[in-house]
Amino acid sequence: MVFVFFGPPGSGKGTQAQYLVKKYGFRHISTGQLLRQEIQNKTALGLDIKSHIEAGELVSDDVMLELVKNVFKDKNSEHVIFDGFPRTVHQAIAFEDILSVNNLRVDLVINFEVSFDHLLERVKGRLTCKTCGHVYHEINNPPIKTGVCDFCHGVEFEKRNDDEDSALKRRFELYKTETQTVKDFYSDRGIVVSIDASLAVETVKKNVEKALADLGIVS
Ligand code: ADP
Ligand code: AMP
């Protein structure tokens, strides 16, 4: 099945997806993470999009659709979470075609609802393991052992360039003006479940699992 985790930057999509990967072996496709890898590997695409991402702008639909097509070439998994995609209605429409070629469709959209006040504090404290990309929060969600990644035992953490003030402001703006309409696209199909993502990480985990259990996806 295909799930879309939908919500503003910092709403906890990646955190919940990481949890489902670990617990149930879901595949997690974060388009932001795919793009950051291109930048890190200094590929032609990475060099092309770097300044765009750092400014908090969206990457073009054409580039994003190519990236997502490639996801299905790699390998198949029973359950795949898309996190950060689609972000425009055009992406959502084209995604339907990509999925149907692979005999798939979006089965469930989990809408992470959080007030913008919470988001700022979350994004400002976000830390990413430099080795494996696992996401933490300095205060709300630190590694179990201070300074050591729970997953890969890496000891270097970094802040994202685009979590700084001006890029962040632009990302919130784009979420409101461009991305939010994607939810209506899926609401019309009756596949959106909204959860209160302002609650603590553990509570949100339970509520996400409940949404999946209601569909018989996990028990
Ligand atoms: P997104 O993928 O939606 O951009 P993240 O999962 O990266 O969001 O979470 C953003 C920041 O907020 C991270 O530092 C993360 O540890 C923290 N966080 C995630 N969920 C919660 C929560 N329910 N309560 C408090 N902090 C959270
Ligand atoms: P994220 O990791 O989801 O916060 O995404 C980080 C950045 O990657 C965004 O601010 C955009 O610049 C870019 N990005 C990620 N996903 C998309 C997408 N679906 N469409 C356009 N740009 C994207």
Task: Mark the ranges of the chain whose per-residue pLDDT is less than 50.
Answer: none
Own/partner contacts of 120-127, CB < 8 Å, gap of 24 or more, are 120/10, 120/168, 122/10, 122/11, 122/12, 123/9, 123/10, 123/163, 123/168, 124/163, 126/10, 126/159, 126/160, 126/163, 127/157, 127/158, 127/159
Alpha carbons 205 and 219: distance in angstroms, whole number: 14
**C-beta 33 within 6 A of ligand 1:** no
Distance 97 CA to ligand 1 centre (A): 31
| Residue 141 DSSP code | B
pTM exceeds cut of 0.95: yes
Q: What is the pLDDT of residues 119-143, one digit of tens each?
A: 999 999 999 999 989 999 999 999 9
pLDDT for the residue 78: 87
**C-beta 128 within 6 A of ligand 2:** no
Quote the longest CA-to-CA distance of the chain. Answer: 46
Pocket test for ligand 1, best of 4, 18, 53, 140 (most atoms within 8 A of CB): 140
pLDDT for the residue 73: 87
Which residues are tagged catalytic? 13, 87, 126, 160, 171
The tokens for 32 are 């932001």
CA distances (Å), origin 102, targets 71, 80, 143, 159: 11, 13, 38, 36
Distance 29 CA to ligand 1 centre (A): 16
pLDDT for the residue 77: 76
Distance 122 CA to ligand 1 centre (A): 6
**C-beta 64 within 6 A of ligand 2:** yes
Alpha carbons 146 and 167: distance in angstroms, whole number: 29
* Residue 57: burial class (beta carbons within 10 Å; 0-12, 13-18, 19+): middle
Query: Which ligand is nearest the CA of 125, by number?
Result: 1
